[in-house]
Amino acid sequence: MTRKKTLSVIGKPLRKVDAMAKCAGETVYADDLNLPRTIYAKLLRSPHPHARILGINAARALKLDGVFAVLTGEDLPQKFGIMPSTEDEEALAVDKVRYAGDPVAAVAAASETLAEKALGYIDVEYEVLKPILSIEEALASTEESQRIHTWNRRANVQKAVSLEFGDVEGGFAGSDHIFEGTYFYQGNTHLPMEQYCAVGFYGPDDKLTLWSSTQTPHYLHRALAKVLKLPASRIRVIATPVGGGFGGKSDPFSHEICVAKLSMITRRPVKITLSREETFYVHRGRHPVKMWAKTGVKSDGTIQAMQYKTFLDGGGYSSYGLASVYYTGALQTVTYKVPAYKFEGVRVFTNKPACGPKRGHGTPQPRFAEEIQMDEIAENLDIDPLELRLKQLVEANSVTINGLQISSCGLRECIEKVAERAEWKKKFRKLPFGHGIGFAASAYITGAGLPIYWNNMPHSGVQIKLDRSGGVTIFCGSSDIGQGSDSILVYAIAEEFGIDPADIRVVSADTDLTPVDLGSYSSRGTIMTGNATIQACGKLKPLLLEAASEALEVPADDLEFADGQVRSASLPSRGISFAECVVKAEGKHGTLGATGSYWPPKNPREFKGSGVGPTPAYTFSTAIVELHCDSETGEIKIDKVWIAHDCGKAFNPLLVEGQTEGSVYMALGEALMEEQIFRKNGLHKIPSILEYKSPTTLETPEIETILVETIDPEGPYGAKEAGQGPLLPVVPAVSNAVFDAIGVRIHEIPITPDKILRALEGRLKAVSIPQFEFPAPLKWQPGEGVKVEQKS
């Protein structure tokens, strides 16, 4: 069988498979589901950020006509959480609430209005406790009585880590210059257009179906089984089309468990749609992180050693926090050669909504620090910031000091291209006061190397069914969150079988019907489902070719799949249609179907915490931001952003550009205005889409996207991720551009106009770093066992 040399579908700007339905308003989101006999649920939320529950009495609510059921914590006592080692959440608080907005009871009633009313008839007696609202307070509250949770070892410290790679002390000792700085990356939320919604139905067959706007139907399936104490085999989770996820719909949530349980009690479909305000309380967004960064360099700017301390404000629960804290130290080594590296990180509990993964998960914060520090090193040593980086870039097929294997690497090309398009040399340090340009680079993962819970099964599975009509159906557990994962499956099949994408159907994200895919997180979709799909097609091809070979009397190794045909490559007029080929193959071999699986390459590292960082392939991004800053008002206007992204291979350049532009937009919001902030009494300060400032189209500048293709050996057709990485360089590039414009360094985001004025007057205080004794570092070096596998 000859491999096609040219691609006919991959790389083409095709329409997304669900685009027309979305444009026409016909996509059925979770809130659009209207099952017969549906009743409606609402959650009663705690007004206190930290309190003991002394008693709950729902008797008055249950007396209301039209109220079907009320749940409280004791109905669902089983703890759960996305990370198996830190399961500390309850569907409804059992004896303690940990943030203002923590659910304490759930009502199911005949209407949403009635359910809302019934909440007012549930009597909860609280003993109010002093809330812990900052990293400093959390670290200072070492008394047992001040604990938010009791399972963790040190009071209000969820996790503290310390890792050391290479000779850090020697690296700093051998440096000509040492640069140190402190930084703060404010927390912010995902702000998806679609609020959370779920519908649960426990049917007469004693089986539960849950429809939910979720990025991770498989993990939700497991959590439901655990908390509801039902066999997983009797639970079906269907992820409805997700109207924006960005990481915020990756945990199993209280509202999902509650509608399931309420349906088990009432035997009616139960629906819940959270309000915008509640969406701010569910959160799981970007961690506020305080950082201390130190870099030692030779006088020519080459890095000798790097050291980071990070302090993460985790909120009331663990969520993905265990991974988040490691991610704040994982990828600093993946852009420039760092011969020695030390990282210490700590995530604390505070009485605020839990933080979790948001686009870039734990890596945008240290990247912000690293890229500003690189800019400062360049400034100080009088080296162009691009030159400083170009002289010490990581290379393809290399291993970093912390043992991460880099396969393809287009970082140099990303830097060169973005500089050329933005006319960097003409502008940098040459623009008038108030007008500036800034640069930053970054790296990101294409899918986590390890699953959330330990198992040796594939990370992604697909099943393909061939139909006598010539149609192909693919079944896959991945959930389309707008990024186009359904489309990716279609493009891969169309490419492999040479057929029209319109002849392919996708059934996705339904745990009854589709093989497991771990979900739409960590930018794993394209590489994992794409490879699994190619593998499944590869299993079917010999069957098809054998049938076609017989029918056409052409040797199988001269046959190709192209233009809807199976035909002779040397004599293309000799062929049969794909549909005819399927008919012949089915007659010969019986019903046609195949599965495909994908496992990422084995993690080459073997120490505690080594699961965070490895990936099948790293992507690289660079950004140049040009802006104007009004020194009297402190207002910033972004003129233009140039962004280059090494995506391996653009599966569909339209989708890659869309993801890249979306990342830039989201990054600008984080850089300039978005803040998840709280009042002194622990209440969210601005839980509305009006007062939580997220940029509009009017604040979004022209974005010029440059796609760099490095054809990664592990990626399907060479493809790597595009959904998250391009966010990372934009935020520090804004800060670096502000320095170029008005000569002040801003080490914290969002860069609001008042901070600009303070900085211009020398009144902006340096970010303070808390005192904390980290554990002794775990020392590790890439050993003999770590080599780059040369992939074909």
Q: Are strands 472-476 and 504-508 parallel, antiparallel or unpaired?
A: parallel
18 binds another protein (CB under 8 A): no
Nearer to another protein, 34 or 113 (CB): 113
Enumerate residues 6+ apart whose C-beta is below 8 A from 732: 367, 368, 369, 370, 371, 372, 375, 438, 440
Stretch that binds another protein, among 372-380, 542-550, 696-704, 705-713 (CB under 8 A): 696-704
Q: Are 777 and 162 in contact (CB under 8 A)?
A: yes
Out of 229, 698, 762, 765, name the contact with another protein by CB under 8 A: 698
Nearer to another protein, 558 or 699 (CB): 699
Stretch that binds another protein, among 272-280, 299-307, 513-521, 616-624 (CB under 8 A): 272-280
Q: Are 234 and 207 in contact (CB under 8 A)?
A: yes
Out of 45, 287, 412, 584, name the contact with another protein by CB under 8 A: 45
691 binds another protein (CB under 8 A): yes
696 binds another protein (CB under 8 A): yes
Out of 108, 481, 629, 757, name the contact with another protein by CB under 8 A: 757
Stretch that binds another protein, among 405-413, 571-579, 675-683, 774-782 (CB under 8 A): 675-683
130 binds another protein (CB under 8 A): no
Out of 57, 275, 392, 577, name the contact with another protein by CB under 8 A: 275
Question: Which residues 391-410 are close enough to bind another protein by CB under 8 A?
Answer: none
Nearer to another protein, 63 or 679 (CB): 679
Question: Angle formed by the axes of helices 217-228 and 254-266, to 10°?
Answer: 50
Question: Angle formed by the axes of helices 321-330 and 364-381, to 10°?
Answer: 20
Query: ω before 217 within 30° of 0 (cis)?
Result: no
Out of 298, 430, 679, 791, name the contact with another protein by CB under 8 A: 679
8 binds another protein (CB under 8 A): no
Out of 458, 687, 725, 732, name the contact with another protein by CB under 8 A: 687
100 binds another protein (CB under 8 A): yes
Q: What is the smallest separation between the CB atom of 41 and another protein, expressed in angstroms? A: 13
277 binds another protein (CB under 8 A): yes
752 binds another protein (CB under 8 A): yes
Nearer to another protein, 713 or 753 (CB): 753
Interaction pattern, residues 102-121, with another protein; x per rule: CB under 8 A:
----------xx--x-----
Nearer to another protein, 698 or 776 (CB): 698
Q: How far is CA 747 from the centre of its chain?
A: 24
686 binds another protein (CB under 8 A): yes
Q: What is the smallest separation between the CB atom of 620 and another protein, expressed in angstroms? A: 32
In this structure, is the dihedral angle defined by the CA atoms of residues 367, 452, 485 and 272, taken in order, positive or negative?
Answer: negative
734 binds another protein (CB under 8 A): no
443 binds another protein (CB under 8 A): no
Q: Are 592 and 512 in contact (CB under 8 A)?
A: no
Q: Are 780 and 164 in contact (CB under 8 A)?
A: yes
676 binds another protein (CB under 8 A): no
Nearer to another protein, 40 or 68 (CB): 40
What does the DSSP assignment read for 560-591? EEETTEEEESSSTTSEEEHHHHHHHHHHHHSS
Nearer to another protein, 109 or 418 (CB): 109
Question: Which residues 166-205 are close enough to bind another protein by CB under 8 A?
Answer: 195
Cα separation, 515 vs 523, in Å, equals: 19
DSSP state of 462: E
Rg of the chain over Cα atoms, rounded to whole angstroms, equals: 27
Question: Which residues 620-649 are close enough to bind another protein by CB under 8 A?
Answer: 631-634
Stretch that binds another protein, among 236-244, 436-444, 686-694, 725-733 (CB under 8 A): 686-694
Q: Minimal CA–CA distance to 164: which of 175, 174, 172, 176?
A: 172
Q: What is the smallest separation between the CB atom of 756 and another protein, expressed in angstroms? A: 10
Cα separation, 439 vs 388, in Å, equals: 12
Enumerate residues 6+ apart whose C-beta is below 8 A from 289: 184, 185, 310, 311, 312, 313, 328, 365, 366
Cα separation, 453 vs 320, in Å, equals: 12
Other CB atoms within a 10 A radius of the CB of residue 329 amount to: 26
Amino acid symbol at 252: P
Nearer to another protein, 429 or 685 (CB): 685
Q: Are 354 and 283 in contact (CB under 8 A)?
A: yes
Stretch that binds another protein, among 130-138, 270-278, 402-410, 598-606 (CB under 8 A): 270-278
Q: Are strands 39-45 and 103-109 parallel, antiparallel or unpaired?
A: antiparallel
Nearer to another protein, 275 or 302 (CB): 275
Encode 606-642: b = buried (16+ Cβ within 10 Å), e = exposed. eeebbbbbbbbbbbbbbbbbbbbbeeeebebebeebb
Q: What is the smallest separation between the CB atom of 156 and another protein, expressed in angstroms? A: 23
Out of 95, 127, 702, 754, name the contact with another protein by CB under 8 A: 754
273 binds another protein (CB under 8 A): yes
Nearer to another protein, 573 or 696 (CB): 696
Stretch that binds another protein, among 304-312, 405-413, 496-504, 689-697 (CB under 8 A): 689-697
Q: Are 233 and 268 in contact (CB under 8 A)?
A: no
Encode 96-130: b = buried (16+ Cβ within 10 Å), e = exposed. bbbbbbbbbbbbbbbeeebbebbbebbebebeebe
Q: What is the smallest separation between the CB atom of 745 and another protein, expressed in angstroms? A: 20
Out of 34, 299, 688, 781, name the contact with another protein by CB under 8 A: 688
Stretch that binds another protein, among 9-17, 40-48, 326-334, 492-500 (CB under 8 A): 40-48
Cα separation, 703 vs 723, in Å, equals: 16
Cα separation, 592 vs 256, in Å, equals: 37
Binding positions for another protein, rule: CB under 8 A: 45, 47-48, 100, 112-113, 116, 195, 273, 275, 277, 631-634, 673, 679, 681, 683-688, 690-691, 693, 695-696, 698-699, 752-754, 757
